[in-house]
Amino acid sequence: MKALNSKNWQYFLGPLSKDNPVVVQILGICSALAVTAQLKPAFVMAASVVVVTGFANLIMSCLRKGVPSRIRIIVQLVVIAFLVILVDQVLKAYVYDVSKQLSVYVGLIITNCILMGRVEAFALGHKPWPSFVDGIANGVGYGIILLMLGFVRELFGSGSLWGFRVVPEAWYIQNGGFYANNGLMMLPPMALILVGLIIWVHRSSNKDLIEK
């Protein structure tokens, strides 16, 4: 079997836009909103989720014939929790400041609906390799939305990107300029409204997703 034949390629491309986990399947919203006030934590979170979704799908797909369906939820939670603990320990070891900023949201990857949703909907019915591709793709689709939100919120909310200043200091009102940061961008409600707007734009260009 070729590593990425056309079917697997479809599994990979689907979640990036047409079947995006955040704006179409409405999964994994909690963390998408909470960690995106700045670009850096958003990126770290997205990378962690890609790793966990990919491997959770892979492991559950390998186990799918041996696990009775009555106890599958517990088994899924144990597998996912195990992966998340690994990710959490790695983050604490290498990027401690970001890990502090993400606080409880790293632990909440366990209950991120993308994971359970993709394992239930895909990995339990497919072979390991396509499941792995599907997991990675859904993680990346989620990451794209996180980065978009992080970009807009950090740029307009604090005038910087990835911690580097983009809007010159001299432009600010307190330095005699004309510019002020939009404080609302840093607050939770604005993240919700931005996701609403992304859904609006996305559905305008994909007419078949519009609800009657």
Partner 1 sequence: MESLNIFIKSIFIDNMVFAYFFGMCSYIAVSKSVKTANGLGLAVIFVMALTVPLNWLLNEYILKPGALGWISNSLGDIDLSFLSFIIFIAVIASFVQLVEMVVERFAPGLYNQLGIFLPLIAVNCAIMGASLFMQERAYPSLGQATMFGLGSGIGWWLAIIMMAAIRERLEYSQIPAPLRGPGIAFIITGLMGIAFMSFLGIQL
Among left, alpha and beta (phi > 0; psi -120 to 50; other), residue 161 is: beta
Nearer to partner 1, 34 or 123 (CB): 34
**DSSP H or E segment with residue 160:** strand 160-161
Nearer to partner 1, 12 or 118 (CB): 118
Residue 164 main-chain phi, psi, to 5 deg? -95, 140
Q: Give the x-and-dash track for 11-40 against partner 1 (CB under 8 A).
A: ------------x--xxxxxx-xx------
**Please, are residues 178 and 189 in contact by the beta-carbon 8 Å criterion?**
no
- Point out which span in 7-15, 108-116, 153-161, 175-183 binds partner 1 (CB under 8 A): 108-116
Across the chain, where does the E strand assignment appear? 160-161, 164-165
**Please, are residues 31 and 108 in contact by the beta-carbon 8 Å criterion?**
yes
- Considering only residues 170 to 209 of the shown chain, the ones binding partner 1 according to CB under 8 A are 187-193, 195-197, 199-204
Which one among 4, 73, 90, 173 touches partner 1, defined by CB under 8 A? 73
Q: What residues form DSSP beta bridges with 179? A: 172
Nearer to partner 1, 77 or 147 (CB): 77
- Point out which span in 48-56, 109-117, 151-159, 160-168 binds partner 1 (CB under 8 A): 109-117
Q: What is the CB neighbour count within 10 angstroms for residue 94?
A: 10
Residues that bind partner 1 (CB under 8 A): 23, 26-31, 33-34, 73-74, 77-78, 81-82, 84-85, 88-89, 103-104, 107-108, 110-113, 116, 187-193, 195-197, 199-204, 210-212
